[in-house]
A and B are shown apart, each in its own frame.
Chain A
Amino acid sequence: MPRLRAPNRDPEALLPLKPIELLVVTMLSAGERHGYGLRQDIVAHTNGRIALEAGNLYRHIRKLQSEGLVDETEPRLLSDDSDERRIYYRLLPFGRRVLAAEVQRLRALMRIAEANHVIAPLRPAPARA
């Protein structure tokens, strides 16, 4: 059984995420995926620059699971017309909070880069609350 941590932990404590972890968590935010599906998503997103193999991917999944960001499901049918079963992974609420915290962190960084004219702003920055 995966070890589940208390959900009321501080998400900031896990930041920053490693690039692969961020990719996995981001892809899972769209919904449940099995391992190979995750790989496909990441390959598509990175234009094939990051093509994970099983060992590498599951090491990261193990880490995310033990930190309580991700959980696995019982094996279930790939699709209605298939008799093959797969284990699916899904993002836990705590994982979603960590992902949010991480992209916020990245957004703040992006603002600095925009302000320093490293990249052009996508749209005018909203006034600070």
Chain B
Amino acid sequence: MKTAERIYQLLLRLYPSDFRHRYGRAMSDFHADRLATARAGGESISLLWVRTVLDVCASALAEHLRSIFTEEAVVQTIVQDVGYAVRGLLRRPGFTAIVVGTIALGVGANAAIFSVVNVILLTPLPYPHAGQVVSFGHAPPQWLTSEPNFVDYHRELKRFDGLAAYTRNEVTLTTGDESERLRLVRASDDFFPLLGVRPLLGRTFAAGEFVEDPPQVVMLSYGLWQRRFGGERGIVGKSVWIGGIPRTVVGVMPPHFDFPEARTDIWSPLPHFRPDSLNGRGSNYLFMVGRLRTGITPDGALVEANELAKRIVRDFPNVYDPNRPLIPVIARVGDRLVGGTRPYLVALVGAVGFVLLIACANVANLLLVRGESRHKEMALRSALGASRFRLLSQLFTESSLLALASGALGLLLAWAGDRALLALAPPSIPRLDLIGIDWHVVAFTAVVALGTGVSIGIAPAWRTSHGNAADALKDGGRIVASTSGARGLRRVLVVAEVAFAVVTLAGAGVLLRSLWNLQSADLGYDPRSALTAKVSLPAREYSDARSAVFFDQLVHRLRATPGVIAVGASGWLPVVDAGGLWGFEPEGKPFPPGRGPSAVPQHATPGYFAALGLRVVAGREFNDADRDGAQSVAIVSERFAETTWPGERAIGHRFKLGGPSPWLTVVGVVRDIRSRGFADTPEPTMYFPYAQTAASMGSTPRSMAVILRVTGDPMSLMTNLRNAVRGLDRNVPLSEVRTLEQVVGTSVSNRRFNTGLLATFALLALLLAGIGTYGVISYGVSQRSYEIGVRIALGAETRSVLRLVMSEGVVLCAIGLVVGLAASVGVGRALTAMLVGVRAFDIPTMGATSLLLAMVAIAASVVPARRALRVSPVEAMRG
């Protein structure tokens, strides 16, 4: 009996306390009677207990719901709370604006960065099975694949559902009078099927179209179709002039499809390789893309590819050096695309997260202060019978309202931020065109805003609801110094904000230093005051000799232009299209085939070195005498000279390229250049006079980069350049006109952009933390004006009052600084991969951060301190 009663007592605890107090006793009597009767009547006791438990659960739930819904109808409560909160917030427009603005900054920054992360990291690539699509290449020095190797891979690799080869070229599209350089991808037959993308219009290539050489058909990108053909649907089946021959458009790809690289304009078939005419195994010029079988990982595919590559190396000893084997590299296309951007995005997410945390701490502080001045109001309401739940729900309603308003404003800021981002972002960031505010971003913002609302509400709600009503009502009209608990909480919040700001600043600092280190690296040439453009001759009309004449004339014409100091042209521009390595053979130092030294080749006209600002350290520049038929000459870089003829004078030595190349006499040595940008290490480079390249290199490029070194603004000479080209041949297109600085900038543009963003957020964090510190100190002064007044009345010196006020801010900031510096060591480690010439814990950066923070701390304390000095003892004590 006793046990049964105890169990029932426990069950009764499920009821709301008022119900239990009122009916608990009667109910247990009821239950006891019921049990006794049941026993007497032989009823099933276990069934009785089941009924009892069900009954208690159901009625307890009903009672709980009732106490929420009927006594204070929930909707009515909410309406009341919202109305109350809105009126309260509108009565203090300044307070409301500061709070909403602060959170909106934090939420907006997060939403903007999320909209970027959403597209770049979270949205799958625009083709089916994107996770199974991999790029397949080789470790250096091969990088790419040769025709025979591709045929072997394609035939033997069983872990691929499809494997395609492609090349990337440029061609000239001619419509009417206009010529434009386009990016062309020539792709083998598996290419479109394995990507699984349907064309927007027309079809992809048919089997028979991979036999014709040159191919007769092309597919257009959506962008090109819109830009050059006005989105005309009838384009399919029509002919366009590409590379001097008419080709039939068979299809248009959908928007956003730009495989393999952003801004691919056209695709054409890569004809089948005929086994009898395969290029050499050592001639690597094919990119590969494949789709893995379901369930196969890139690592799994790599095992199989490695086996085959080892066999190829073994089977062709005359091509491959066993010490420099063929090493396949397989990576998901998506990972490759975002690879370089990912760490920056993660860092940015961290930075905006910190900004939001700081904003939250600031607002929580403001609400705490406000809660304190409302302490009496709350105490009064509590004394009049408002439940704690009721008071809390009202406080949370207020903070949620603030958060919602901030969320809406934050979304607006994010939209504006996205526009600014898109305007400033370098095109090398993948899939920029997709970035915008979609429902993902809106949902994210809503969640962040609501989370913010709850978190900023917690501290003040806790403080308020734990207040002692009687105490609060007792202390008459004067506001005395706030309770030590609230003050402690506010100080903790300030220390936390300062620490977060320090971490963000330190992170941005080491990245800024890295950027600085990179940009101050000596490129070997002078990117300032130079204009560049690409000039492409139609291959069908220009022979090697005619091409040489054209560029000779162009250089001479431009040289006569006022404002031009030097003019030259070269096969490639540094950074944007530096070429691969070519093997060469120094005279008197024979190497087995395929194992000789290699260097980057460059075609150059007379004037090139002067135009690029590349200094000739020994010998001479190319001149007009270095033409076809004269002695074959070359100029080499310092590194080339040192590695080939160590300790000797390079001038006068001879070397030759593979094949039927004549012996080339070195006539000059120039400085090394970083041909791939700031992060590159200089490679040995060899230069050949353009007019001799038909003989020395076996081919003469039709497309050359012209470089003009000028006195004034480089872009002002654009028209002169255009006219000079047109004056020679109206049909020759001029493309990619930009300054050399812009060209060079592309190698660090991603980093510069991301670092700039990070630095912006770090400053925002610092600003918010400063405002937070100011708020706390300033409030402290207003609270202590009575005490300060007494001190002044008692003859306290200015200095001691100042010390009283300033020490608090300085101490709080100092603690935050120490905590932040300790934490930033960890953050620095996480950034290690992005650092250049800076250690994770960089003393100058930490020093600068500390200095900056000290300045902010002092600034945040000085204003309130000055106010403290103006406290009039009489006024303060009168209250």
Residues of A within 8 A of B (CB): 34-36, 39, 53-59, 61-62, 72, 75, 84, 86-87
Contact = CB atoms under 8 A, between A and B. Distances in A.
A55 B29 contact: no
Nearest to A1: B22
B52 interface: yes
B11 to A, nearest CB: 9
B62 A59 contact: yes
Contact of A35 (B19, B26, B37, B55): B26
A128 to B, nearest CB: 40
Interface in B31-71: 31, 33-34, 37, 51-52, 55-56, 58-60, 62-63
Given A53-B52, A55-B60, A59-B62, A87 B19 contact: no
Contacts of B25: 75, 87
Given A36-B29, A53-B34, A56-B55, 6 more contacts: A34-B29, A57-B30, A58-B19, A59-B59, A59-B63, A86-B26
A34 B26 CA distance: 8
Chain B interface size, as a band, is: 20 to 34
A75 B23 CA distance: 12
Nearest to A40: B37
B775 to A, nearest CB: 48
Contacts of B63: 59
Contacts of A57: 30
B51 to A, nearest CB: 6
Contact of B27 (A58, A72, A75, A84): A58
Contacts of A59: 59, 62-63
A36 B23 contact: no
Given A58-B23, A62-B19, A62-B22, A36 B30 contact: yes
B678 to A, nearest CB: 78
A86 B33 CA distance: 11
Given A36-B33, A36-B34, A59-B63, A54 B22 contact: no
B65 to A, nearest CB: 11
Most chain A C-beta atoms within 10 Å of own C-beta, residue among B26, B56, B59: B26
Nearest to B52: A53
B19 A54 contact: no
Contacts of B55: 53-56
A68 to B, nearest CB: 15
Contacts of B56: 53-55
A62 B22 CA distance: 9
B104 to A, nearest CB: 48
A35 B59 contact: no
Nearest to A35: B30
Contact of B59 (A34, A39, A55, A75): A55
A35 B62 contact: no
Contacts of A35: 26-27, 29-30
Interface string B78-108: 0000000000000000000000000000000
Nearest to B62: A59
B29 A53 contact: no
Nearest to B19: A62
6 contacts: A53-B55, A54-B31, A56-B59, A57-B30, A58-B30, A58-B59
Most chain B C-beta atoms within 10 Å of own C-beta, residue among A34, A53, A61, A84: A53
B51 A53 contact: yes
Nearest to A2: B22
A18 to B, nearest CB: 13
Most chain A C-beta atoms within 10 Å of own C-beta, residue among B15, B51, B55: B55
Contacts of A56: 55, 58-59
B403 to A, nearest CB: 39
Most chain B C-beta atoms within 10 Å of own C-beta, residue among A34, A35, A54, A75: A54
Contacts of B58: 55-56
B30 A61 contact: no
A61 B23 contact: yes
Contacts of B52: 53-54
Contacts of A34: 26, 29-30
A55 B22 contact: no
A42 B778 CA distance: 71
A103 B630 CA distance: 128
A42 to B, nearest CB: 13
Contacts of B22: 62
Nearest to B34: A36
Contacts of A39: 30, 34
A104 B26 CA distance: 32
Interface string B814-843: 000000000000000000000000000000
Contacts of B27: 35, 54-55, 58
B26 A87 contact: yes
B274 to A, nearest CB: 89
Contacts of B19: 58, 62
A58 B16 CA distance: 13
Contacts of B33: 36
A54 B34 contact: yes
Interface string B1-29: 00000000000000100010011011101
A111 B29 CA distance: 42
A21 B177 CA distance: 95
Most chain B C-beta atoms within 10 Å of own C-beta, residue among A55, A57, A58, A87: A55
Nearest to B60: A55
A61 B30 CA distance: 13
A95 B302 CA distance: 87
A79 B111 CA distance: 74
B57 to A, nearest CB: 8
Interface in B631-663: none
